[in-house]
Amino acid sequence: MGHIELMKNAIEFNKPEYLPMELVDVPKIYNAYGTLNPETVKFIPGTEDFDSAWVTYHWTFAEEKKEEDGILRRDEWGVLQKVPVDEKVAYIIVESPLSNRENLDDYTFPSSEINNAFFDRTEKIIKENYSDRFICGYIDPGPFLIAYNIFGYQTFFIKIVENINLVIDVIEKIFEYQYTLIPKFKKIGAHMINVIDEIAGNNGLFFNPEIWKKHFKNYYEKLFKLIHQHNMYTGLLFDGDIRAILDDLLKIEIDVFQFAQPNVIGIKTIKEKIKGKRCVKCSVDMMNTLAYGTPKDVEKEAIELVENLNSPSGGFICNVLRWHRPEYPRENVISSVEAFNKYRKK
């Protein structure tokens, strides 16, 4: 069974022959939010025969200035970021263009053409290196993450209360921009598009769930419908504790629910709510177990994920990540690979 067929069978509960693996750190592709040269990326030992490649569009940057403690760069939304010399941090938001504005006067949303170079370059890399692999296109950051950067976190949440129509206008424009990414991912050979976004923390949603349901749910519904119309699978990774809206998400055209912090929502909850209904994609919890646990802790959790969320019919994909800025402890990363590989090819 080929890599692409294996992934499709897992997503469709069509009895894959073994557990599929998706890899974040894909040589020549992974760039860690534009902070890493993808040509320097090497395979994590044991992942060379991975099935699905994580292929992400983040931003298109214009470098503005090199400083002693980092590099300043501005994205297409007008947000100024700093990439610190200290590799424990991916990037810092320095300037948010709507932090002191009451309207969108004089603010220009980006053209959909600005990212063409990324997709042209990535299409060539996929054809030359990964034409036999399942390609999962990632939109990261998703609409809310971009909006936080444009407004600044504090201003965003103030506007949710004081001027929600302004927030809705900005979110809608971000979605419209991201709708244009769908045919571009299709053209480069993507089989799936996964959105990464954040509307919750470890203790629940950042705002009343009814606000999301009333004002924002419809945009996600349209996004996933458009992806299906382009004959690709859909996936969603909402960070944090999203139990308050999980039932609503299950009514949307989402083929794969992804969790990078499975311990926040709880493996038991994922099993009870999602297993057998939708495919689940998980890594060992990246915020605690992978970062601070022992290799034995990592192994135990990887096995727990598979044993609780996989089935003979499929429905589970393991996600392996090493990350960058900061990089996870090598022994933990290797432990996760070895544990997942026990369920893969013999």
Spatial CA neighbour of 263 closest among 244, 245, 289: 289
Question: Which stretches of the chain drop beneath a pLDDT of 70?
Answer: 1, 346
Whole-model pTM above 0.75? yes
- Write out the two tokens for 317: 């994909």
The candidate with the shortest Cα–Cα distance to 84, out of 66, 59, 62, is 66
* 92 three-state secondary structure: strand
CA atoms within 13 A on the CB side of 323: 20
Q: Reduce the DSSP state of residue 54 to 3 states and report it.
A: strand
Q: Which residue has the tokens 């444009």?
A: 150
The structure tokens 């499975």 sit at 262
> What local confidence, expressed as pLDDT, does residue 88 receive?
84
* The pLDDT value given to residue 99: 95
Q: For 59-98, how does the pLDDT look when each residue is reduced to its tens digit (9 = 90+)?
A: 999 988 899 999 999 999 999 999 999 888 889 999 999 9
Contact 146, 198 (CB under 8 A): no
Complete domains list, the chain, with CATH: 3-60+109-341 (3.20.20.210)
pLDDT at 89: 87
262-267 long-range contacts (CB < 8 A, ≥24 apart) are: 262/305, 263/287, 263/288, 263/289, 263/301, 264/202, 264/240, 265/241, 267/304, 267/305, 267/308, 267/309
Q: Which two tokens stand for residue 285?
A: 């919890």
pLDDT computed for residue 345 by the predictor: 77
Among all chains, which residue has been given the structure tokens 């600044």? 152
User: What local confidence, expressed as pLDDT, does residue 64 receive?
Assistant: 83
Strands (E) in the chain, as ranges, are 21-23, 52-57, 62-67, 70-74, 80-84, 92-95, 134-139, 192-198, 200-201, 204-205, 233-239, 256-259, 279-282, 316-320
| β-bridge mates for residue 62, sequence order | 74
Q: Write down the pLDDT at residue 346.
A: 57
What are the helix and strand counts (H, E) for the chain?
Answer: 14, 14
> Which bin fits 11, alpha (ψ -120 to 50), beta or left (φ > 0)?
alpha
Report pLDDT for 262: 96
